[in-house]
Amino acid sequence: MKLPVYLDHNATTPCDPRVVEAMLPYFTERFGNAASRTHAFGWQAEEAVENAREQVAALIGAGPREIVFTSGATEAVNLAIKGVFDRYASRGNHIITVKTEHKAVIDTCKHLERSGGEVSWLPVDSEGLIDLSELEAAIRPTTILICVMLANNEIGVIQPVREIGEIARRKGVAFFSDATQAVGKLPVDVQADGIDLLALSAHKIYGPKGAGALYVRRRDPRISLTAQMDGGGHERGMRSGTLNVPGIVGLGKACALCEKEMEADRVRIEPMRDRLEQGLLRLDGAKVNGSRIHRLPATTNMSFAGIDGEALLAALAKDVALSSGSACTSASPEPSYVLKALGLDDELAYASLRIGLGRFTTDEEVGYAIERVSETVQRLQRQPS
């Protein structure tokens, strides 16, 4: 076993060697621009991109022409929300979202509020779930978009997206879901779930950083977006810019592997997550945050009363890689807004760990993490405050 043990897979995942192998030729001998239509180098690149488009689409139940490649999930989120807001401005300016969304959604919605948009921020219960009746009651004649993430990046809680999709369809409102943490770990079907727009990222599913995609529904109903980046009209005019061919190939390969291995990964990882929780729940003041039923198979978020969370992470840093929340908010000195929305006080929110297991996590590593976290928490609890 190599140290440190990596248990922060919600922040990023290691690239699967099979993904790296698929990408390598597109850095060297197949280096063409996918938009170069006059020679074999461009044709090779374009063929690779279209193959990846099919692989991404297959994983989420979409059609290949509904996939728009981006630099990652944050760009996909911005394109979805701002693109709908601009395109459907004549219909309304109201968006509904949730207080526990990823910062990419929250900050984009706040930007639109400053630009004349109106945003309703739904609360969650103590398990991190929204109230569907509150969602439906929030819909107005001017509502143009509902934004609810599929699975939370800090606590792993899964929202009832199929029911949300039914409400959105019945009310004639577009439904966007940030599925970055869910795709590749759970079965996702945009048709069955009634999702009109969906964001995903390669580096959360053992692919490379810098590659992602946005699903945009083409029929029943057809969703149109206003481009947020102008240029050569790439990606059917929705996202200009020279395509990151190696990254897109890696995203496609990662999706293809997840489609084949997702259930086997879940069957192996979920018991390790449960074993980790059981081991740490023996500690005084330990609790799991969020629903223990509606959640991702590889994620847990735990609080340890009576300790300083920063001191805990610092003490573990050389041996076990963990985080106290989203990597996208790690520069913030504030306690996790997700945990605060669940009702945790500042002290407990500060004393929390997000633990994310992955495809390459071993039983030995889990056992080591239980031992190291336990002894560190107990030592910190004994220290005078």
Cite the active site residues.
328
pTM: 0.95
- Side chain identity, residue 138: A
Altogether, the residues listed in the chain come to a count of: 385
CATH number of 5-12+262-382: 3.90.1150.10
Checking 288-294 for CB contacts under 8 A at 24+ apart, the result is 289/128, 289/155, 289/339, 289/342, 289/344, 289/352, 290/127, 290/128, 290/152, 290/155, 290/156, 290/157, 290/342, 291/127, 291/128, 291/129, 291/157, 291/158, 294/127, 294/129, 294/157, 294/158, 294/159, 294/160
Backbone CA torsion sign across 339, 342, 346, 348:
negative
Q: What is the pLDDT of residue 331?
A: 53
Phi-psi region of 241 (alpha: psi -120 to 50; beta: other; left: phi over 0): left
- Side chain identity, residue 136: E
- Side chain identity, residue 82: K
CA angle 27, 202, 369 (to 5 degrees): 115
The neighbouring-strand residues paired with 198 are 177, 215
Q: CATH 3.90.1150.10 region(s) of the chain?
A: 5-12+262-382
Q: CATH 3.40.640.10 region(s) of the chain?
A: 17-256
For 246, the token pair is 């190696």
Q: What is the pLDDT of residue 146?
A: 98
Cβ-based neighbour number of residue 197 at 10 Å = 27
CA angle 319, 324, 325 (to 5 degrees): 130
- What separation in angstroms does the CA of 222 have from each of 84, 177, 216, 341? 12, 16, 8, 34
For 352, the token pair is 């929390």
Q: How far apart are CA 329 and CA 153, in angstroms?
A: 11
Q: Which fold has domain 17-256?
A: Aspartate Aminotransferase; domain 2 (3.40.640)
How remote is the C-alpha of 64 from its chain's centroid?
21
Q: How far apart are CA 125 and CA 139, in angstroms?
A: 20
How remote is the C-alpha of 70 from its chain's centroid?
14
Q: If the chain, 385 residues long, is cut into consecutive pieces of 10 residues, what is the mean pLDDT of each piece?
A: 96 98 97 94 95 98 98 97 97 98 98 97 98 98 98 98 98 98 98 98 98 97 93 85 96 98 98 98 97 98 92 94 67 82 93 96 98 96 81
Q: How far apart are CA 164 and CA 193, in angstroms?
A: 8
Give the DSSP H or E segment for 212.
strand 212-216
